Structure 1
């Protein structure tokens, strides 16, 4: 693949990648809330940088005791869908209803981290000596909400996350590239050789090694989320080529362009039901204090710039990059919904089924992996943002909680990441630290008396 120009001149990069077409700009204008900037700016009050000291508080994962589960609202039930996985970080539903689970995690990249991983000294379970590097298939043949077939679908990968079926191909996003394989509906294993259709910059700051995939409605375009390689560009912007962005390609890997940039670590991506608007959950920067910077959920405008590393949440200039790119600071788009600082908001799924009560339909569920750069825990839950007519319509609210066991002792049972809505109307929550996948359904769907 031809490499794109150096990121140091982002505007030139956007131009060289083609930028949005007239049709994309028109569709974005039609689908994006007209009051996006005003609403976000009016409802989020940010402190000054360094108003509080930058803190480090890493969680200690103790695992789930027998019989204990996360907590869900009245009228819902949460059950163990699959256990004994190895860092199940992301899930995907195949066309026939089978569920794929990407098992992968951060791996050590220097001597110190290798020792920490080898001795199992990372209590948060983010860093492990090795990564499973596989995709596991789960099939529920009798539709009782519990899979009865489990098989290794694909192995020998390199920190996989995003999965996708388009036509007769299965795609997987490794940390260093996108592969595609010949695929037939219903198969439980891929054994043929894959084709690497796109090379990606590998690895990244903390958990920024993840690469997600999403196709548009007709399968003519594939979108790839690529997080930054650093916190705030401290290694040099020449190391951030094609990073902190969502890329767009054709299904064969050709036609690459930057769909949107300045997105520090976009992971979850989904389409708002009833629209052609792409949304993403973004994990924002560290070390500016307890309350900076809020992670966010935002609609993604083709060709837009969202601030990283020069600005955050609109035109708030990052003091560590002060005066470097005033042009890009002024171009920074304000995101739609603040999700709280240091929550590690990663998973995203719009509820496009009918099993949950009406208030949840078309709304967004966000998996928050949990903080480390804050004096008190934030995140460690799945939250919900209601939508109406393709726009956020109310405040964020907790949905799946109970992951924190004892904050005083820094203990947590697990850490939620990916969220996926199943065709039967239930929802899966990948718990990579707890090595489980949870299933959320209504009590009525589970055959229990409704409390709602």
Structure 2
């Protein structure tokens, strides 16, 4: 064992020395000044062969309501959150690694023809969260910065793209708060034209000594700012780790998923879909582990010192509700209009795995919400994951895309019924 540990340490030390001797250049300054970087090569992902065929085979077991069809749209390694270009040309896909992928259906047969890395001259750090403004500006929220690409659907054909800082590296959160845990940022442009970004806190339960700092900078919450990075403010408090949010198409109000506390048992606490109606509302963490279940760490507090908004929907414990999207298309039956389609990534430490499916949440005129499975079957009879859905996006034809970071794929769900 000591020999293994020593060899591992030497390996990492050697990697550190190699990185120190040959740092990867960050070409943002050149791109911001419309200068060439000298980068000429893309990484292309093969869309055919045995790997793609294996994914298609697994999709045969997915169950959905009558009339719906699921197909492989693209092979996309580590596929996480998606942003469909307003021109309908490209879908940009983030990852929890160092790549952003550009996915193109050139012949419009609703299957991607090309998947290549976006802006390969840039050095990304967990570029999980892409989102678009209506006028075609692409924003990508990384672990600790936010960049904007003003003409992404045009420049993506070239290795060099126009790119600018919205939030500079090290200024989204304090650098000393950077963590390997809960670092997947998500962004959306709200009805007010502002940029909303979730900032998951890195602990299972936030410790007391961190609460003041987190409240100030928005960690364990959601921030909003103008699209040029000015006017930053904390919009939402009391979130453990939200990795999906969207705005109701009619009311304009914010809804978001939240992943709740681990280690309390298989069946508690529940996951959450939340509904925010005003700035500054608090959603319970760390006093609540999920729903009305109190955390052990804060159970001694007789009274919770904040006014808490309880979830609009409690979901099955540990299913890991992630990306979500309000459906606005016309392809699906009418009762899906303005419903939430959301992805459950699946449990990582539950005795019997749950999740790994797409859910639909219907909201009535009074704002009451009910959730049910929409597409499921990515956990087989042995309890093995065949896929882990992450996010949901909508194409211009009204079909939806579902990303899967385990299979490294994007699926397309369409409706062919009456």
Q: TM-score, normalised by structure 2?
A: 0.77
Tell me the distance in 2 between the aligned counterparts of 1:138 and 1:320: 44
Per-residue CA deviations over 1:71-99 (Å, capped at 9, x if unaligned) read: 3222011000001x220011111111134
**Which residue of 2 is the match for residue 49 of structure 1?**
none
**Which residue of 2 is the match for residue 278 of structure 1?**
254
> Structure 1 pair 423/66, CA: closer, same or farther in 2 (3 Å)?
closer
**Which residue of 2 is the match for residue 411 of structure 1?**
384
**Which residue of 2 is the match for residue 170 of structure 1?**
138
Q: Which moved more, 1:361-370 or 1:69-78?
A: 69-78
SS in 1 for 2:335: helix
**Which residue of 1 is the match for residue 359 of structure 2?**
383
SS in 1 for 2:154: coil
> Structure 1 pair 193/214, CA: closer, same or farther in 2 (3 Å)?
closer
Tell me the distance in 1 between the aligned counterparts of 2:136 and 2:77: 29
Aligned length: 350
**Which residue of 2 is the match for residue 161 of structure 1?**
128
Query: Contact between 2:85 and 2:92, CA under 8 Å: does it hold in 1?
Result: no
1:209 aligned residue (172, 183, 208): 183
Tell me the distance in 1 between the aligned counterparts of 2:366 and 2:222: 21
**Which residue of 2 is the match for residue 351 of structure 1?**
327
**Which residue of 1 is the match for residue 167 of structure 2?**
197
1:333 aligned residue (285, 293, 309): 309
Tell me the distance in 2 between the aligned counterparts of 1:75 and 1:265: 35
Q: Report how far residue 412 of structure 1 moved.
A: 1.3
After TM superposition, list the pairs within 5 Å mapping 1:48-63 onto structure 2. none
Query: Contact between 1:274 and 1:390, CA under 8 Å: does it hold in 2?
Result: no
Q: Report how far residue 204 of structure 1 moved.
A: 4.3
Tell me the distance in 2 between the aligned counterparts of 1:185 and 1:257: 30
**Which residue of 2 is the match for residue 20 of structure 1?**
none
Q: Report how far residue 433 of structure 1 moved.
A: 0.3
**Which residue of 2 is the match for residue 142 of structure 1?**
107
Q: Report how far residue 187 of structure 1 moved.
A: 3.4
1:92 aligned residue (83, 86, 108): 83
Tell me the distance in 1 between the aligned counterparts of 2:179 and 2:308: 23
Tell me the distance in 2 between the aligned counterparts of 1:97 and 1:391: 31
After TM superposition, list the pairs within 5 Å mapping 1:107-146 onto structure 2. 131=97, 133-146=98-111
**Which residue of 1 is the match for residue 73 of structure 2?**
81
Query: Contact between 1:275 and 1:390, CA under 8 Å: does it hold in 2?
Result: no
Per-residue CA deviations over 1:130-153 (Å, capped at 9, x if unaligned) read: x2x222222223322112243322
Gaps of 5+ in 2: 1-52
SS in 2 for 1:404: coil
Higher relative contact order (CA 8 A, sep 6+): 1
2:342 aligned residue (354, 359, 366): 366
Q: Root-mean-square deviation (CA), in Å?
A: 2.4
Q: Report how far residue 345 of structure 1 moved.
A: 0.1
Query: Contact between 2:82 and 2:94, CA under 8 Å: does it hold in 1?
Result: no
Query: Contact between 1:262 and 1:308, CA under 8 Å: does it hold in 2?
Result: yes
SS in 1 for 2:264: coil
Q: Report how far residue 277 of structure 1 moved.
A: 0.4
2:300 aligned residue (315, 323, 331): 323
Gaps of 5+ in 1: 1-62, 106-130, 444-449
SS in 2 for 1:386: strand
**Which residue of 1 is the match for residue 198 of structure 2?**
225
SS in 2 for 1:326: coil
Q: Report how far residue 339 of structure 1 moved.
A: 1.4
Q: Report how far residue 186 of structure 1 moved.
A: 3.4
> Structure 1 pair 386/168, CA: closer, same or farther in 2 (3 Å)?
closer
